[in-house]
Chains A and B, each alone.
Chain A
Amino acid sequence: MSARLHFEDFAIGRKFDCGPYCVTREEILEFAREFDPQPHHLDEEAAKRSMLGGLAASGWHVCAMTMRMFADSLLPLAEARGGIGAPEARWIKPVRPGDVLRVEAEVVSLKPSRTKPIGFVTFSCKVLNQREQAALIVMTPIIARREAP
């Protein structure tokens, strides 16, 4: 079998680096047009007058970009079977055109399933921009297979 990480291989405090992700204006606009067409995600002038103080990506877009980094960097290492939700997320800083994001994913809780050969591994994903400022912190539990007994 593969040497990929099973539930038993994760320990609280273990960290994984994911990314980077280069954020472009075109992508911010494309996501916003489809899913979050509010003026502060589409129009520079309206964005300047808003709480964001300038054009910024939809928070849902930042979550989606985070998922992409997580899926590319961490999931291939693990016997993972998808997610179950996100118990908490905080949008802390706007994500702007030209930002380069990365994710520090730290294991914060481990819960074996009582009935299935799986366990839930919860990561706290801290999304940092190129100035090392946290833009988003999101909790993401994933389903990981347990090692065969």
Chain B
Amino acid sequence: MSPQYWEDVKIGARRELGDYVFTEEEIIRFGRKYDPQPFHIDPKAAKDSLFGGLIASGWHTAAVWMKLVVADRARGDGEPQELRAGVSPGFEDMQWLKPVRPGVRLFFSTEVTAKRELGSRPEFGLVYTRNEARLQSGEVVFRFTGKGFVQRRPKS
């Protein structure tokens, strides 16, 4: 399969991006660098916090979602699942619903929910995605609506 154009992207198309376990070490490493609140960097102080223990920064969870998306595009199923993807203009409705604790396995997914043409950039279209991380039980712990530019099929 060759890389998909915006025209090829189907609403409802869903990818399971794989699972991921955050370790205490990487939660603390990310927290020290980007989000040094006690409950992200200090297991003892985290016990006394609202969260009752060490948890990952919500931005760390978002970054891992991105990591799994890039890995999924590169993996394909024998064939590259590559989109002719550009960059993203932003996102909406990011919710950190439940704390992400070390050692817990999260399952990430992305699903196309809508497409939009762009008056200002006719060579690209916009694709909206619903993105989630769930526990084994199915409970959603992280969610947001993504937006991405994808190349339009050149007019011949």
The answer on a CB contact under 8 Å between B87 and A84 is: no
Knowing A84-B96, A85-B94 are in contact, say whether A34-B67 is a contact too (CB < 8 A): yes
Please tell me if A12 contacts chain B, counting CB pairs below 8 Å: no
- What residues of chain A lie closer than 8 Å to B36, measured between beta carbons? 68, 71-72
The answer on a CB contact under 8 Å between B66 and A35 is: yes
Indicate the size class of the contact surface on chain B.
Answer: 20 to 34
The answer on a CB contact under 8 Å between A36 and B67 is: yes
Please tell me if B6 contacts chain A, counting CB pairs below 8 Å: no
Please tell me if B37 contacts chain A, counting CB pairs below 8 Å: yes
- What residues of chain B lie closer than 8 Å to A75, measured between beta carbons? 37
CA distance A82 to B87 in the complex (A): 29
Q: Could you list 5 A-B pairs, sorted by A, with CB under 8 Å?
A: A52-B87, A67-B57, A68-B33, A82-B37, A88-B90
Which B residues are within 8 Å of any A CB, using their own CB? 30, 33-37, 39, 49-51, 57-60, 62-64, 66-67, 70, 86-96, 144, 149
Using A86-B94, A91-B89 as known contacts, list a sample of 12 further A-B pairs with CB atoms less than 8 Å apart, ordered by residue number in A.
Answer: A35-B67, A38-B70, A51-B87, A58-B63, A64-B30, A64-B33, A67-B34, A71-B34, A71-B37, A89-B91, A90-B89, A91-B87
